[in-house]
Amino acid sequence: MWKKILGIGASKREKDLVALYDRVPKEKRPRHIAIIMDGNGRWAEGKGLIRTAGHRAGVHTLRSILQVCVDLGIEVLTVYAFSTENWKRPRPEVDFLMSLFSEYLEKEIQEMEDNHVRLRFLGREDGMSEALLRQMHGAEDRLAAGDGLQFNIAANYGGQDEILRAVRTLAARAAAGDLAPDAIDAAAFSAALDTAGQPPVDLMIRTSGDLRLSNFLLWQAAYAEFWFTETNWPDFTPEEFVQAIVDFAQRKRRFGGLNPRKGK
Ligand code: IPE
Ligand code: IPE
Ligand code: MG
């Protein structure tokens, strides 16, 4: 079982994190946090290890960040696990990532269930093996009743691909006479995306120093605040994660309007 931060057995470090988060006013907390978990390869190379060792180490980080999100009561966490462009990598690395993915699901599903996590995969299915797809669907079904953290894993995901799939779905409905083209507004479009029903991204975190989106959540991140760190994903800590949230809470979001203070 994951330790509940405020429960028996919680360490001072865990309590400090919660205390830090508690000081962030409720209305300033991000509802949806997205993470581009980058830098596994660089982490491994820096240690003289093979790249796949970095991916394995990255799974430990994901485990701790998911746990923190559960404990803090975050509403939605979306992580970028494999992009539609990552198929360009050498076959052994791709195969390793797919098997790591399956191992992760197998090992973590019970704890996710115990913690009321609801799971959804974002992305396209083709290219993934039948066995892995069965496992992914099985995990989604098993956690469908979860009323805690909404956890999205973007696997075989590309923002452009997601938008195109949504466009095709809507166009097919329009062609069939089920949908008036004028009815395709932002809400209808959002509802055709893989993240249907979920709030837009508030905070987008990318580790490992690159300052780009790499085709992640193009629509959903329209007004996201960005937070970058040089830390490679395997070294990313719950402290840094909470620091990102604290920094986010200090940003002034305008959504195209005036600065609330000056605008009054
Ligand atoms: C992120 O780490 C994980 C995936 C893309 C699957 P990378 O493998 O991209 O690591 P770097 O960017 O090469 O260091
Ligand atoms: C983005 O990282 C994808 C994931 C983290 C899964 P990449 O390492 O693939 O991105 P680029 O190629 O540096 O833009
Ligand atoms: Mg990378």
Protein residues with CB under 6 Å of any ligand 1 atom: 37-42, 82, 86, 97, 208
Query: Tens of pLDDT along 219-245?
Result: 999 999 999 999 999 999 999 999 999
Q: What is the reported pTM?
A: 0.95
SS3 151: strand
Residue pLDDT, tens place only, 54-95: 999 999 999 999 999 999 999 999 999 999 999 999 999 999
Residue 246 CA to residue 244 CA, distance in Å, equals 5
Res. 262 pLDDT band, cuts 50 70 90: low
Alpha carbon nearest to ligand 1 atom 1, residue: 38
d(CA 9, CA 77): 25
Query: DSSP state, 4?
Result: P
Contact 66/236 with Cβ under 8 angstroms? no
Q: pLDDT digit string (tens) for 109-144?
A: 999 999 999 999 999 999 999 999 999 999 999 999
- How far is the centre of ligand 1, averaged over its atoms, from the C-alpha of 59 (Å)? 12
Domain definitions of the chain by residue range: 28-158+202-249
* pLDDT at 6 (0 to 100): 52
Q: Which ligand is nearest to the CA of 82?
A: 2
Residues of the chain with pLDDT > 90, as a percent, come to 91
Pick the CATH number of 28-158+202-249 from 3.40.470.10, 3.40.50.970, 2.40.50.100, 3.40.1180.10: 3.40.1180.10
Residues with CB under 6 A from ligand 2: 36-38, 80-83, 86, 210, 212, 214
Report which of 59, 60, 69 is spatially closest to residue 17, judged by C-alpha positions: 69
Report how far ligand 3's centroid is from the alpha carbon of 187 (Å).
Answer: 32
The answer to whether the beta carbons of residues 43 and 51 sit under 8 Å apart is no
Per the CB < 8 A criterion, the answer to whether 237 and 244 are in contact is: no
Catalytic residue numbers read 38, 86
Contact 205, 33 (CB under 8 A): yes
